[in-house]
A and B are shown apart, each in its own frame.
Chain A
Amino acid sequence: MHPLRSGSAVAVAVLLGAALGLGFFTLFHAEGLSYLSDDPRACANCHVMNEVFEGWQKGPHHAVATCNDCHVPHDFLGKWLSKGLNGFHHSKAFTLQDFHEPIQITRRNAEALQGSCLHCHGEFVHEVVAAQRAADDPVRCVHCHRGVGHGAAE
């Protein structure tokens, strides 16, 4: 499903290296290295993450899922590849301050997110998902559950 996931680990290393080289001080100073941890407070180190963090704290998933439970793939390779790519993307964006606001989820991360929903709720929604017409044409959970991670956009 994800060509990148099966892609070469070398690329990961290169990207990670580039990320570290380019943005080491940025990462350090902005406490961005904590990005590699699973602690939600690590995400909230960046003020641009404050709103989602606060939303998550109030949200129904607070007690059961942290940022990475939703935003990082649940298989080992996918998880670390994702962390590498996201880490690179993050430090670049933060250093250059060139990102679109409001922040928009990337397509790849949206797919990972869908996988996370199914990781936890797969049995419950099995019958609904099974009526699928094609593998690349899913019922997108966030079509209805818009605010599930960190509160509705209101």
Chain B
Amino acid sequence: MSGSNEHLIENDDDIVSEPLTLTEACRIAEALVFASAEPVPESFLAERLPLGSDIPAIMAALAELYAPRGVNLIRTGDRWAFRTAADLSFVIRKEEGEVKKLSRAALEVLAIIAYHQPVTRAEIEEIRGVQTSRGTLDVLMEAGWVRFRGRRRSPGRPVTLGTTPDFLDHFGLEELRDLPGLEELKAAGLLSGRIPSGFSIPIPIGADELSEEEDPITQLDLEELGLLAPSGGDEE
């Protein structure tokens, strides 16, 4: 393959003393198309490749190389891009949707639940100073990070919230006590040094045991609270 291809570049100004082989030119074009966020016009490739490179020949060689592979080099107009081979599009399950970022509010509520558990909804609102929308908790439940722990033995028997094992798993924690404390948050620059002297950060109470002030939550409780649809009907 070498003989005919070696003279792809007639470098006028001798920048490249050794002419690029087709293989080298292909490598460059390949990397450029790969790294680009947009399909790459041939004119752009011409700019980056040595003067006189035969772009169509290079791209044709590359496209041929990729044709049987799981990823193909395709051309739309005069632009080039890599795309998953059409017959494999099923592996890229589109329906999964994108991973959603948690909203600021959800992050705050999650953090409060993690540090202050067992914690009731009213307590969360007290700490945040704003009302928490129903949707925020729903999102955290849906993510599988937050669960109902039990009911507080206090007037109204409010439901207490806590984190799940999946929470620990997702955030790479072995146990809840691995959450950094006040000094460590300060040292990491997350809390400023200018905090009032009474300021404290609680040590979360392990998720498994209920605290003394908690009763276990029952199926009935959940139904009563409207958190579970009454059993009986077949759900889809």
Say if A and B assemble together.
Answer: no
